[in-house]
Amino acid sequence: MIAKRKGLGPITAEPALQRQGVGGALIAEAGRWLSDQGARGCILTGDPGYSPRHGFLPAPERAPEAEPAESFMVLALAGDIPSGRFRFHPAFGA
């Protein structure tokens, strides 16, 4: 069974607006939108020093091939995080 999970990114704010909560607000709104869409969770390749502040957990063992494992994270929105490796839709490939 393929779990209904969504990917998020990139999230960024104009340098002049950084450290004012813009990125966090974008991530929070994305989480609400994904929950409303019925997503069970969200995955991303992000900054290990930033994304955990917003509930993402490091999951290097679940990183898709060709993604930097040390930057791969998951966020459960409903239920447990499935086991195994994730993969992004082919549209996001090289």
> Could you give the count of Cα atoms lying within 13 Å of 93 in the half-sphere of its Cβ?
5
List of long-range contacts for 31-34, beta carbons under 8 Å, 24+ apart: 31/55, 31/75, 31/77, 34/6, 34/8, 34/77
Report whether pLDDT(83) > 50.
Answer: yes
Write down the pTM of the prediction: 0.81
The partner residues of 72 in beta bridges, in order of sequence, read 45
CATH superfamily of 5-92: Gcn5-related N-acetyltransferase (GNAT) (3.40.630.30)
Mean pLDDT of the chain: 86
DSSP 80: P
11-48 pLDDT, tens digit per residue, is 888 999 889 999 999 999 999 999 998 888 899 888 99
What pLDDT shows up at residue 4?
53
pLDDT given for residue 1 in this prediction: 42
